Amino acid sequence: MKPKIKLLLVAGTRPEIIKLAPLVFAADAAGPWQVSLCFTGQHRDMGMAMIRDLALRCDHDLALMGPDQSPAAFLGAALPALEGVILRERPAWIVVQGDTTTALAGALAGFYRRVPVLHVEAGLRTYDKTQPFPEEMHRQVIGRLADAHGAPTEAARQSLLREQVADRDILVCGNTSIDCLLHVVQALRGAAPVLSGEFLASPAGQRLFARDGRPTDARLVLITGHRRESFGEGFAAICRAILRLAERFPAVEFVYPVHLNPQVSEVVHRMLSRVANIHLIAPQAYRPFVQLMERATLILTDSGGIQEEAPALGKPVLVMRHVTERPESVACGASLLVGNDEERIVASTTRLLTDSSAFAAMALPRFPYGDGHAAPRLLAWLKNRATRA
């Protein structure tokens, strides 16, 4: 019997868990894999809830995040902790995803211990080190440390080639976020709502869902926001825009699962908590959030993952960032950059809620980030690399 190829998946945040889960599913389905998941706890509550929601096994829970911990302090704690896990596991590959401090720590720890690193969702770039901050520089540094690069798109591959990454070390595979999304959508369609009973019993839930769980005709604007570059005045401007929109469209429900970071939640609750058609709810597990995306009329977000997922659901996205490392959704007409500019957010949302032609042009299912088979492609590629080695 051939020995298993050991993969150590390193994750610390909700998006990383969503995007690494398809590798666990694909490895369990076929192939010579032994997969361990190491959770750093960068997003402690939201990350652990996601692990439970996707029925994943957490092999190493490092519980590293502390109150008001800076990225530098977290990185300093993560490196020795991850080194200990690597020494115990002796993996053939370390797998990191995206652009978080956890991903940077995983890649750097692997580099120090001379364990090859696979970077999932590689090659995304803005080339502005302040936007998104600090994620853009995390991605560029991981790009230098990684040995294999799973690029979601051809544009990402071209960015890596310009940075002198060898073509043989890049696979254009699609984004694993679409794997997870389509897996969950298939399971949810035709099923009863998985949103909490508390939400379904709330004024928003009662207006958005009938007693039998079917959607009503009420319109929903789904909102998420958490980017560091918007802390302070940026989030205040976003909240002022939402206030104006809620006043202008009293029959529209504005649902905002509020990120737990105090620099987000304090501003959002202080400015938006007393408006009848603005509903501030707790961060959602993945399946309920997918249900909210499917129910939404349009989405306001600064999330990278939602920029990938919403086009596949045919949901127009207004991206509350000034630049994006995911230009494909903008290029195909599924999303529009509005920054954290109050006037642009109000004007663009108003247009989509009042101009049926403008809405219809954006509300078409599109798949710029892949077909939902990225994870099997990545594992087959790694297997071939191991065979050649």
Q: Check residue 66 and give its pLDDT.
A: 85
Mark whether 90 is an active-site residue: no
* DSSP letters spanning 242-311: HHHHHHH-TTEEEEEE--S-HHHHHHHHHHHTT-TTEEEEPPPPHHHHHHHHHH-SEEEE--HHHHHHHH
Residue in the block written with tokens 């909240």:
239
Question: Catalytic: which of 121, 147, 309, 342?
Answer: 121
Mark whether 228 is an active-site residue: yes
The continuous run of DSSP H or E covering 361 comes out as: helix 356-362
Calpha distance 19→40 (Å, rounded)? 16
**Would you tell me how many other CB atoms lie within 10 Å of the CB of residue 122?**
28
Question: Catalytic: which of 16, 135, 253, 309?
Answer: 135
283: phi then psi, degrees, rounded to nearest 5: -55, 140
Q: Check residue 180 and give its pLDDT.
A: 96
Domain ranges (residues) in the chain = 5-175+370-388, 193-362
Mark whether 198 is an active-site residue: no
Question: Catalytic: which of 99, 147, 253, 342?
Answer: 99
pLDDT means per 10 residues, the chain with 389 residues, are 88 96 92 95 91 95 90 96 98 97 98 98 96 95 98 97 98 97 88 83 89 86 84 88 97 92 86 94 90 96 93 97 93 96 97 98 96 96 78
Calpha distance 256→275 (Å, rounded)? 12
Residue in the block written with tokens 């090659």:
123
Please state the pTM of the whole predicted model.
Answer: 0.90
Task: Classify the C-alpha dihedral 110-116-120-126 as positive or negative.
Answer: positive
Domain with residues 5-175+370-388, CATH architecture: 3-Layer(aba) Sandwich (3.40)
CB 297 within 8 A of CB 317: no
301: phi then psi, degrees, rounded to nearest 5: -155, 160
Question: Catalytic: which of 259, 287, 377, 385?
Answer: 259
| Same CATH fold assignment for domains 5-175+370-388 and 193-362 | yes
CB 107 within 8 A of CB 94: yes
At the top level of CATH, which class does the domain 193-362 belong to?
Answer: alpha beta
Q: How far is CA 1 from the centre of its chain?
A: 38
The continuous run of DSSP H or E covering 5 comes out as: strand 5-11
DSSP letter for 371, please: S
Residue 137 has which token pair?
Answer: 């520089």
Mark whether 259 is an active-site residue: yes
Residue in the block written with tokens 């892949």:
370
Q: Check residue 29 and give its pLDDT.
A: 83
Of the candidates 142, 178, 177, which has an alpha carbon nearest to the alpha carbon of residue 160?
A: 142
3-state secondary structure of 116: coil
Question: Catalytic: which of 226, 227, 326, 385?
Answer: 226
Mark whether 226 is an active-site residue: yes
**Would you tell me how many other CB atoms lie within 10 Å of the CB of residue 371?**
13
Calpha distance 229→131 (Å, rounded)? 7
Mark whether 99 is an active-site residue: yes
CB 209 within 8 A of CB 203: no
Question: Catalytic: which of 44, 119, 149, 228?
Answer: 228
